[in-house]
Amino acid sequence: MGTRLFPIGLAIALSGLAVAFGFGWGSGLLEQWQLAARYTARVGLPLFLITYCASSLARLWPGDGARAILRHRRQWGLSFALTHSVHLMALALYNAVAGTMPSATTLIGGGGAYALLYAMALTSNDASVRALGPWWKRLHTLGIHWLWFIFAFSYAGRIGDPARRAEGLLFFGLCIAALALRVAAQIKRKRG
Ligand code: HEM
């Protein structure tokens, strides 16, 4: 598989594993889809963070590795869109089995994130960059930070729960570290 297709292949494998683990560990359809939703979000996080940090890594440590990630940033972004589409499917099935609807706050925060995610995925090509002009950057900057916020907010919410504190701290910490990296790259860009 060529390097260009590696992120997409990885996303297909990770989402399949996430759903399989959900079904292996959960007892009953409801818990299985809940775990599938949880694990698909979890495997999407590293793919999201690679996309979120790609240009900052290349600015702070311009080496072959960082340049290779930057060159394939579109594919990393699309790989996250793929795992998060499986998250959407899993949580829709979870709600269908439970006969529930997500809260209005979740629908607005999460639904807005999906609208932005698909707008970004559909405009991840040279023709859209040319057609949208400065709006392309505005759309992608807003979208990537909105997605970052939902991840950070979801994991920060777990820190108060003793049973889930460890994962909350770990994954929220990763989100904060990624943000710090972007800020450091901005400072370097302005200075240099
Ligand atoms: C309407 C949209 C969404 C709904 C209804 C929703 C629903 C869910 C559900 C049911 C779970 C499993 C909860 C559990 O752990 O028991 C979950 C987990 C999660 N979702 Fe979503 N989600 C939505 C969109 C998003 C988006 C856009 C993001 C990120 C950008 C996201 C990030 C997460 C995270 C981080 C977890 C926790 C995963 C973990 O435990 O590691 N969700 N979501």
Ligand 1 site, residue 102, Cβ cutoff 6 A: yes
pLDDT digits (tens, 9 = 90+) for 128-151: 999 999 999 999 999 999 999 999
pLDDT of residue 39: 98
25 CA distance to ligand 1 centroid (A)? 18
- CA 73 to CA 76: how far, in whole Å? 5
pTM: 0.94
In this structure, which residue's CA is closest to atom 3 in ligand 1? Answer: 110
Q: Over pLDDT 70: what percentage of the chain?
A: 99
151 CA distance to ligand 1 centroid (A)? 8
Its sign, for the CA torsion 57, 141, 40, 128, is negative
Ligand 1 mutation target, pool 14, 100, 147, 150, most atoms within 8 A of CB: 150
pLDDT digits (tens, 9 = 90+) for 66-112: 999 999 999 999 999 999 999 999 999 999 999 999 999 999 999 99
Short-list 15, 17, 14, 19, CA closest to 33: 19
- CA 111 to CA 54: how far, in whole Å? 25
pLDDT of residue 192: 78
Find how far residue 37's CA is from the centre of its chain: 13
Q: Where are the domains of the chain?
A: 3-191
Ligand 1 site, residue 172, Cβ cutoff 6 A: no
